[in-house]
Amino acid sequence: MELRQLEYFLACCDQGTFTAAARSLHVVQSAVSTGVAKLERELGVRLFDRTRTVLVLTDAGRAAILPAREALRARDEVRDAIAGLRGEVRGDVVLGALVNVATIDLAGAFEVIHQRHPGISIAMRQSPQGSAGNVRLLRNGSLDLTLLGGDVEDQSGITAYPLAAEPLVLVTHPDHPLARAGRFVADDLEHERVIDYPPGWGTRTIIDRQIPRRDSVIEVADQVFGIQLARSGFGVTAVPASVAAVQTDAGVASCADRDLTWVIYVAHSDSRSLTTAASAVLDIVREVCGPPSDVTA
């Protein structure tokens, strides 16, 4: 059994298909499918049921996830120990991403990481379930660190550090009455066609909590497309102010009676220690992207 086979197996668990797993690892698809098949032969079990569209974990596959992750973590700890003797910080760090990171200077943080620790390699992963998906992947060990959007009030077992905050605003057709007024109240959305985002996204969590009574007509998984729909008059949508600011020809209104503050956090799990590389990435992201005196949430 090779560690590379375990890495292929876990990538398939996280991505759902051989093709997506190969893309995330920057290898050819045949290497992943062959590696997983070889691992199955060596273990004498099927780890996945192959359907026409996705890979479905078998009971054996589910049982193998945790020890496989621990094996790769042990490999990283060995690398950490040797690098530490040389005075180096190096290793792979998997960071959960968000659709919108315009509020923080993530590119600047990555540049500082490269300058200080060129031996650190960062892989970004984006969950279709947004922040909720990132939390799940953080807890099961798929991510070392993650960005979260919205709030972390209901998230136990993680430590999250706020990096930046901004309001959600309502984007509309340029001639919409709410845009002309420049403001709206929660009750207004009972009479508007609301363009929502998938459950688990930080923006959706805030709107669900603050404005549960609304006429939701569609869900889209792309804020830019949501704004395009709103600008055309299809409906209205709530997005972070920095996202709305890019679309200068759309109408915008601020909420007058609810706190729609959207916060970006960087977080890690409390149940496992960070590698030296992950700890360095966390510190630099907080240094470059965070407020002058951020606090643990």
Domain hosting 200: range is 164-261
Whether the full predicted model's pTM is greater than 0.85, yes or no, is no
pLDDT of residue 296: 41
What integer pLDDT is reported at residue 292 of this predicted model?
65
The pLDDT value recorded for residue 147 is: 96
CA nearest to 195, candidates 244, 233, 248: 233
Looking at 51, 86, 121, which one is the last position of a domain?
A: 86
CA distance linking residue 202 with residue 167, whole number of Å = 12
Distance between CA atoms of residues 274 and 73, nearest Å: 10
pLDDT tens digits in sequence order for the chain, 297 residues long: 899 999 999 999 988 899 989 988 889 999 999 999 999 999 999 999 988 888 999 999 999 998 998 898 888 778 777 877 777 788 889 999 998 888 899 999 999 999 999 989 998 988 888 899 999 889 888 899 999 998 777 678 899 999 999 999 999 999 999 999 999 999 999 999 999 999 999 999 999 999 999 999 999 999 999 999 999 999 999 999 999 988 778 999 999 999 999 999 999 999 888 888 999 999 999 999 988 654 444
Burial class (CB in 10 A: 0-12, 13-18, 19+), 124: middle
CATH (domain of 231): 3.40.190.10
Residue 204 maps to a domain: yes
Strand locations in the chain (E): 48-50, 55-57, 90-96, 119-125, 145-150, 158-172, 183-184, 194-196, 216-219, 237-240, 251-255, 261-269
Domain membership of residue 106 (yes or no) is: no
Domain CATH number, residue 4: 1.10.10.10
pLDDT at 293: 53
pLDDT value at residue 203: 93
Choosing from 58, 86, 114, the residue where a domain stops is 86
Instruction: Report the relative pairing of strands 216-219 and 194-196 from DSSP bridges.
Output: parallel
- Residue 295: what pLDDT? 41
Task: Answer yes or no: is 178 within a domain.
Answer: yes
Q: Which of 86, 102, 134 is the last residue of a domain?
A: 86
The distance between the two most distant Cα atoms of the chain, rounded to a whole number of Å, is 67
Sign of the torsion formed by the C-alpha atoms of 217, 220, 223 and 226: negative
Q: Where are the alpha helices (DSSP H) in 149-196?
A: 177-181
What is the number of structural domains in the chain?
2
pLDDT of residue 158: 93
Looking at residue 283, its pLDDT comes to 96
Q: Is 122 exposed, middle or buried (0-12, 13-18, 19+ CB in 10 A)?
A: middle
Asked if residue 37 is part of any domain, the answer here is: yes
Q: Which of 276, 297, 291, 286 is nearest to 117 (CA)?
A: 276
Evaluate whether residue 73 is within a structural domain: yes
| Position 247 in a domain | yes
Does residue 44 lie in a domain region?
yes
**What per-residue confidence (pLDDT) applies to 297?**
40
Residue 113 φ/ψ region, left for φ over 0, alpha for ψ in the -120 to 50 degree band, beta for the rest: alpha
Whether 61 maps to a domain, the answer reads yes
